[in-house]
Amino acid sequence: MLANLPYIVVVVLFLIGLATIVLKRNLIKIFLGIVILESAVNLFIVSLGYREGGIAPIYTNAPGTLMVLPTPQALTLTSIVIGVATSALLLSFAIVIWKKYGSIEIGFLRRLKE
């Protein structure tokens, strides 16, 4: 059970993020749900690259033991940078919408479309 703990946390975070995106009506809360979803994906990628008893792959003269996979770590770092840029863009959209319409509630914005 303890070996599967990271995957259980990934599922819980994913469900929290998905529920936040689907159930909330405030743009900021929806954007936070997207950030939680991204964090779940990052944790999943790092969990896949973990090896029990592995060492960090930063040594040039490392002994012949198991090493933690470096590719998932690089993908996660790239995903974090993309996530920060996406979050900044989404929040800037929310600020522009709030300045133009005076609200960031989805129901109010949908009524403007009609």
pLDDT in tens, 34-54: 999 999 999 999 998 887 777
Helix (H, G, I), strand (E, B) or coil at 67: strand
User: What is the reported pTM?
Assistant: 0.84
Higher pLDDT, 21 or 50: 21
For residue 57, what is the DSSP state? T
Q: Give Cα separations from 39 to 12, 82, 99 (angstroms).
A: 11, 12, 29
Q: Count of alpha carbons within 13 Å of 36, Cβ hemisphere only?
A: 18
CATH class, range 2-49+69-113:
mainly alpha
